[in-house]
A and B are shown apart, each in its own frame.
Chain A
Amino acid sequence: QKEVEQNSGPLSVPEGAIASLNCTYSDRGSQSFFWYRQYSGKSPELIMSIYSNGDKEDGRFTAQLNKASQYVSLLIRDSQPSDSATYLCAVNRNNNNDMRFGAGTRLTVKP
């Protein structure tokens, strides 16, 4: 079992729809969780960080964390073609330098 698992996709949604990206992790001691967006040929850029159970909203993005079920998700409302990218889930185990990344979910938003 991979430490951080994501559905590789591709996930395709129409413009204006809600895109739902999911991530599960194996280490119950994990404390910090991050979502990165990576356009093809570019470096990852941070979208959201979440540290506590529940929802965290930032504009069109909402991160959801459930430590008991060991999953973290990212919702993108009113999806735009410019949201088309690969989304990486990252989990920091024990709040040290042991950051583990999922392989990413490729999202395509169709006009």
Chain B
Amino acid sequence: IAGITQAPTSQILAAGRRMTLRCTQDMRHNAMYWYRQDLGLGLRLIHYSNTAGTTGKGEVPDGYSVSRANTDDFPLTLASAVPSQTSVYFCASSDSAENEQFFGPGTRLTVL
């Protein structure tokens, strides 16, 4: 693989269910990010990780959790999905916090 991969590509989920969105990068980037993109609101940061073993909250963290067990993987978990979490989710990475970010292909999530 080259770059960032995300899985699944899309998912329809019943409200109240637990869901984990997967993100893997092979660029050995230290920093990774999760965004959601909603029409008219642009990209909003959910959680980030500066390096393996550390995570931080972004602009809209409520209802989401992340972990960073190693450099390559940065899963995003919705513990109990709600319809307002219907969105397109993008994972991104960068070699350092101040530099440009590179985005994965996205996951389209629908919560009914």
Contacts and interface: CB of A to CB of B under 8 A. Distances in A.
B103 interface: yes
A44 interface: yes
A22 interface: no
B48 A34 contact: no
B58 A97 contact: yes
A103 B31 contact: no
Given A101-B42, A103-B41, A95 B102 contact: no
Given A44-B43, A97-B31, A97-B56, A32 B99 contact: yes
A88 B43 CA distance: 9
Interface residues of A, number: 25
A92 B48 CA distance: 14
Interface residues of B, number: 25
Given A101-B42, A103-B41, A46 B48 contact: no
B101 A99 contact: yes
Given A43-B106, A44-B43, A97-B56, A31 B100 contact: no
B50 interface: yes
A99 to B, nearest CB: 7
A104 B103 contact: no
A102 B44 CA distance: 9
Contacts of B59: 100
Interface of A: 4, 8, 31-32, 34, 36, 42-46, 49, 88, 90, 92, 95-104
Given A43-B105, A97-B58, A102-B42, 11 more contacts: A8-B40, A42-B106, A44-B43, A49-B99, A49-B100, A88-B42, A97-B48, A99-B33, A99-B45, A103-B40, A103-B41
11 contacts: A32-B99, A43-B106, A44-B90, A88-B42, A88-B43, A92-B98, A96-B97, A97-B45, A99-B45, A102-B42, A104-B42
